[in-house]
């Protein structure tokens, strides 16, 4: 694990995205109309994803435990794709990229798990960091 004892706490932000690709238009319609038997897909998966963000350092050996000071998960349907956007902010000595990506991954897996009785061909089509602020490039002194 990297030694961060000498680093300065700054505001760090990361945004990650995961895409869940459905295979059937009927699945998309069921999501849109709130007719998925396992429940309200986006709201249920959002709860799971928020918990997962906070467990990142419990699962990834070299991740530092850090104070997650803001997290938001948004899901939207575009055709046969569910696009998950996860934002995580902290004021700490290291970034929150892996936290955002782990949150996106667990949100996607929860949606996969809720929809697989309806659609056998769902895939998680990429998890990637789409934005990152703070750290070396974006200094801001710790005010807290």
- Interface residues with its own copies (CB under 8 A) are 1-5, 7-9, 11, 38-40, 43-48, 50-52, 54-55, 57-72, 89-93, 97-98, 101-102, 105-106, 108-110, 112-114, 116, 123-129, 142-144
CB of 82 to its own copies, least distance (A): 14
Indicate the residue among 4 and 26 with the shorter CB distance to its own copies: 4
- Of 105, 109, 130, the closest CA to residue 18 belongs to 105
CB of 141 to its own copies, least distance (A): 10
Paired tokens of 1: 């694990």
62 is catalytic: no
* Candidate list 62, 113, 125, 138, residue with the active-site label: 113
Q: CA 60, CA 115: separation in Å to the nearest integer?
A: 27
Other beta carbons less than 10 A from residue 131's beta carbon: 13
Q: CA 116, CA 41: separation in Å to the nearest integer?
A: 12
Catalytically annotated residues: 113
């Amino acid at each position: 694990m990297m030694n961060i004892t000498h680093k300065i706490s700054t505001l760090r932000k990361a945004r990650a995205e995961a895409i869940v690709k459905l295979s059937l238009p009927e699945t998309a319609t069921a999501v849109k109309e709130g007719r998925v038997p396992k429940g309200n897909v986006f709201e249920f998966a959002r709860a799971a994803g928020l918990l997962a963000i906070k467990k990142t350092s419990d699962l990834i050996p070299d991740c530092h435990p850090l104070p997650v000071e803001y997290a938001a998960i948004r899901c939207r349907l575009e055709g046969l794709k569910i696009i998950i956007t996860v934002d995580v902010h902290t004021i700490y000595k290291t970034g929150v990229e892996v936290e955002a990506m782990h949150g996106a991954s667990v949100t996607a897996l929860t949606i996969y798990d809720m929809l697989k009785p309806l659609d056998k061909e769902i895939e998680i089509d990429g998890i990637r960091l789409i934005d990152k602020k703070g750290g070396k490039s974006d200094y801001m002194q710790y005010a807290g």
